[in-house]
Amino acid sequence: MPFTYGDIPACRDKHFIPLMPNMWKLFLEVGWEKLSGIFMELAYNVYNLGYERLKNTVDTAKLILEGKLDGTTIVNYSLSPPFYTIRNDLQSGTLKLLYGESCDSTFIICNTFDETEQIGFLMNCHLEQGLPVDWWTVSHDDELLNRRHLKLGIKLKDLPAKSKNYDQIGWRAREILQDVRNERTPQWSNSAYFTGACRMTGVMNCLLELSNYELFFHLYNSYNTKRLYGLEDLMFSYTPFPPLLSTAIFLDQPGFVLRTVGLCTGLNWSLQGFHDSNIKYFKENFAETWDILMNQAWLQGIPLPQMTLDWKYPHIKEKKDYMEKFTRVTALKRHLLLDDLGINLEEAYKGVFLNYSYEDDPETLSHDKIISIGMGKDAIVLQKKVKDINRDFLSSP
């Protein structure tokens, strides 16, 4: 049965879903009723999914600091936020560049699929010199979410329903959480504090993205939904925006993608994967979703970095046909297939880090391009040496 945009009922996320390729694809396959049911279920389990990512990243960072792992040949998810993959030896430098020498960053996952529109998950990391020295997570039923804003009297968990936009959610949550931080760890009371309010739909769109180039394309859209696409609010918001990021989001889309991918992996292509427990969870609980967004994606092919940089929205000024407005096109048609890399689906699920960038000839894609398979401390390294990269964020890669 074909589903259309008109089948999505009025809700705070409706206008954003066509800008989320993974969520849009899933909706077209299963329809709104089933999609909302999937998200209601995931809302109560995203805590475990996010916890596994953060824990693996922190554990990997410790092994690298102890000299037990070579961070240049493996990638893992960033400490803050855990949406995108980054070369492990670049974590501290990149995060210091983004957030400064000492900071807390808390990501606030808002469950807008629930009629009560409450916070479903918090993830916090304290960084010193870009290194994690403290971290915590809070699930949807934690007592901390009942903490009230001192001036407004609103519970932390109710901020999505009682705030006019995601900037306001972030600022109000920051006022509550900064007090919590200062009470819990007074030694860091003068450190910077960043909050990031995120829509659950956008988070899942990112968590299920397979290409790091595509992921940064989606983040660019998420931070520019008002400025570029005329939507009423942001998909993701920072409060305050880190200075470097606040400059980068005003670049054009290819410029943003190249600079962020260059900063995180030296422009190398990371086919983002899952840790074993998360693979098991999705296969056992969301087999249809896994088939649509993982199996079919790999069997149909992953967009090459060159395709990501070439995507355009030629009808963005369209006013009558909403779906045409958000249809992206490219003249490039070459995709990466499993056979190109000589791997199977089970290996692909774990993630693949490649010695390949947008500058390389697609015909050179082969098993010999694989640097490592898997994420962080669980990765299997096939190449011991990776070329040096340009670390100047503001220069052309």
pTM of the model: 0.93
CB 103, CB 193: distance < 8 Å: yes
Which CA distances in Å does 227 have to 215, 223, 264?
Answer: 19, 9, 25
CB 119, CB 144: distance < 8 Å: no
**pLDDT at residue 396, as a whole number:** 43
Classified as helix, coil or strand, 30 is helix
Q: Where are the beta strands (DSSP E) in the chain?
A: 75-77, 85-87, 102-111, 118-128, 131-139, 192-199, 236-239, 270-271, 302-303, 335-336, 352-354, 370-373, 380-381
CB 114, CB 40: distance < 8 Å: yes
Residue 129, number of CB atoms within 10 A of its CB: 12
Taking only the tens place, the pLDDT of each residue in 263-307 is 999 999 999 999 888 888 889 888 998 999 899 999 999 999 999
pLDDT tens digits for the chain (397 residues)? 578 898 988 888 889 999 999 999 999 999 998 888 887 777 667 667 777 777 888 888 888 888 888 888 999 988 777 789 999 888 888 999 999 999 999 999 998 766 678 898 898 999 999 888 888 888 888 999 999 999 999 999 999 999 999 999 999 999 999 999 999 999 999 999 999 999 988 988 988 899 999 999 999 999 999 999 999 999 999 999 999 999 999 999 999 999 999 999 999 999 999 988 888 888 988 899 899 989 999 999 999 999 999 999 999 888 888 888 889 999 998 999 999 999 999 999 999 999 999 999 999 999 999 999 999 999 999 988 776 655 454 444 3
Classified as helix, coil or strand, 290 is helix
Taking only the tens place, the pLDDT of each residue in 51-108 is 777 788 888 888 888 888 888 899 998 877 778 999 988 888 899 999 999 999 999 9
Residue 314: what are its φ and ψ, rounded to 5°?
-70, -15
**pLDDT at residue 389, as a whole number:** 58
Residue 334, number of CB atoms within 10 A of its CB: 14
Which CA distances in Å does 350 have to 294, 296, 297?
Answer: 11, 16, 14
CB 272, CB 348: distance < 8 Å: no
β partners of residue 103: 127, 192
**pLDDT at residue 112, as a whole number:** 74
Classified as helix, coil or strand, 292 is helix
Task: Give dist(CA 230, CA 237) in Å, integer.
Answer: 16
Q: Tokens 């769109």 sit at which residue? A: 205
Residue 84 backbone zone (phi > 0: left; psi -120 to 50: alpha; other: beta): beta
Residue 160: what are its φ and ψ, rounded to 5°?
-60, -35
Task: Give dist(CA 126, CA 369) in Å, integer.
Answer: 35
